Amino acid sequence: MASEKLNMIEQFKNLDILKVDRRTFLKAVAALGATSFVSLYGNQLAAAMSEITETKVLWLHGAECTGCTISALNASSPDFVDALSRLNVSLAFHETLLAPQGIFVDGELVGNSELNVEILLDELVKAGGYILVVEGAIGNGPDGTGKINMIGTHTFKDIYSKAAKNADAIIALGTCATYGGVTVTDSATKRYCDFMGVNQTEQRRGGMNAHLGIRDKPVINLPGCPAHPDWLFLTMAAVILGRIDLNDLSGVLDREGRLKVFYPPTHTIHDNCPRRGFYDRGVLDVRFAEGGCLWKVGCKAPYAHGDCALRKKNSGTSVCMQAGGPCIACVEPIYPNGVMPYYVETESAGILFGINIGTVAALTIGAAVVAAGVHAVRRVNKEK
Partner 1 sequence: MRMVRITVDPLTRIEGHMRVSAEVDANGIITSAQSGGTLFRGFERMLQGKDPRDASLHISRICGVCPISQSITSTNALEELYQVSDRVPQNALAVRNFIQASNFMASHATHIYVLFGPDLANPRYRDVLTGSTLRLGATGDALWKELLGRFAPISYRMNGQDIPAGTSYLGAITEKKRLHEAITLFAGRMPHPASIAPGGVTCTPDLGEITKAAALYLKVMEFVQNYTLGVPLNTWIENTAQARSPQAAVKFVTDHLASIVDRSTGNNFSRENGWKDVELFAAFGSELVGEKILGLPASLKLDKLGGYSDPSKICFLSYGAFYDSTKDGYNPSSPAGERFMTSGVVRASNMRYENLDASKITESVARAFYEDEAPKHPYEGTTVPIADADKINFEAPQTEKYTWLKAPRYDGNAAEVGPLARMLVAQDPLITGLAQAFAENGMSPANVYTRMLARMHEVAVIAHKITDFLDDIDPAKRFAEPLDMRAGRNSRGAGLWEAPRGALGHWITTNRSGKIQNFQAVVPSTWNLGPRDENGIPCPVEQALVGNAVSGCDNIGGADFTNPVAIFHVGRSYDPCMACAVHTIDATGKNAPRDYELL
Collapsing DSSP to helix, strand or coil, 64 comes out as coil
Residue number with CB closer to partner 1 (265 or 316):
316
Provide, rounded to whole angstroms, the least separation between the CB of residue 27 and partner 1.
25
Question: Binder to partner 1 among 36, 39, 44, 74 (CB under 8 A)?
Answer: 74
Name which of residues 302 to 341 contact partner 1 (CB under 8 A).
Answer: 313-315, 317-326, 328, 336, 340-341
Burial of 78 (0-12, 13-18, 19+ CB in 10 A): buried
Question: How many residues sit close enough to partner 1 to count as binding (CB under 8 A)?
Answer: 96
Residues 6+ apart with CB under 8 A from 348: none
Q: Which letter does DSSP use for residue 99 in this model?
A: S
Kind of pairing between the strands at 200-201 and 219-222 = unpaired
Q: x/- contact string, 91-120, with partner 1 (CB under 8 A)?
A: xx-xxxxxxxxxxxxxx--xx--xxxx---
Burial of 282 (0-12, 13-18, 19+ CB in 10 A): exposed
Q: Is 376 in the site for partner 1 (CB under 8 A)?
A: no
Provide, rounded to whole angstroms, the least separation between the CB of residue 269 and partner 1.
12
Instruction: Give me the sign of the Cα torsion angle 72, 304, 29, 176.
Output: negative
Name which of residues 175 to 204 contact partner 1 (CB under 8 A).
Answer: 181-183, 185-190, 192-193, 195
The rounded distance, in Å, linking the Cα atoms of 326 and 344 is: 10
Q: Is 283 in the site for partner 1 (CB under 8 A)?
A: no
Q: Is 355 in the site for partner 1 (CB under 8 A)?
A: no
Name which of residues 208 to 267 contact partner 1 (CB under 8 A).
Answer: 225-226
Residue 89's nearest CA partner among 235, 305, 224, 204 is 235
Residue 299's nearest CA partner among 265, 276, 333, 267 is 276
Q: x/- contact string, 16-55, with partner 1 (CB under 8 A)?
A: ----------------------------------------
Residue number with CB closer to partner 1 (242 or 291):
291
Q: Is 170 in the site for partner 1 (CB under 8 A)?
A: no
Provide, rounded to whole angstroms, the least separation between the CB of residue 7 and partner 1.
27
Q: Is 284 in the site for partner 1 (CB under 8 A)?
A: no
Instruction: Give me the sign of the Cα torsion angle 271, 277, 278, 279.
Output: positive
| Binding piece for partner 1, criterion CB under 8 A, among 46-54, 163-171, 241-249, 287-295 | 287-295
Residue number with CB closer to partner 1 (41 or 156):
156
Angle (CA) 162-165-168 rounded to 5° is: 125
Angle (CA) 292-281-269 rounded to 5° is: 65
User: How crowded is residue 327: how many other Cβ atoms within 10 Å of its Cβ?
Assistant: 27
Residue number with CB closer to partner 1 (102 or 358):
102
Q: Is 133 in the site for partner 1 (CB under 8 A)?
A: no
| Binding piece for partner 1, criterion CB under 8 A, among 6-14, 38-46, 64-72, 363-371 | 64-72
Residue 37's nearest CA partner among 24, 46, 28, 27 is 28
Collapsing DSSP to helix, strand or coil, 70 comes out as helix
| Binding piece for partner 1, criterion CB under 8 A, among 31-39, 60-68, 211-219, 254-262 | 60-68
Residue number with CB closer to partner 1 (15 or 150):
150
Q: Is 356 in the site for partner 1 (CB under 8 A)?
A: no
Residue number with CB closer to partner 1 (176 or 360):
176
Q: Is 349 in the site for partner 1 (CB under 8 A)?
A: yes
The rounded distance, in Å, linking the Cα atoms of 378 and 211 is: 41
Provide, rounded to whole angstroms, the least separation between the CB of residue 161 and partner 1.
17
Residue number with CB closer to partner 1 (2 or 289):
289
Q: CA neighbours within 13 Å on the CB side: how many for 317?
A: 9
Provide, rounded to whole angstroms, the least separation between the CB of residue 82 and partner 1.
10
Provide, rounded to whole angstroms, the least separation between the CB of residue 316 and partner 1.
9
The rounded distance, in Å, linking the Cα atoms of 29 and 326 is: 27
CA distances from 1 to 4, 10, 75, 271 (A): 5, 14, 25, 10
Residue number with CB closer to partner 1 (243 or 313):
313
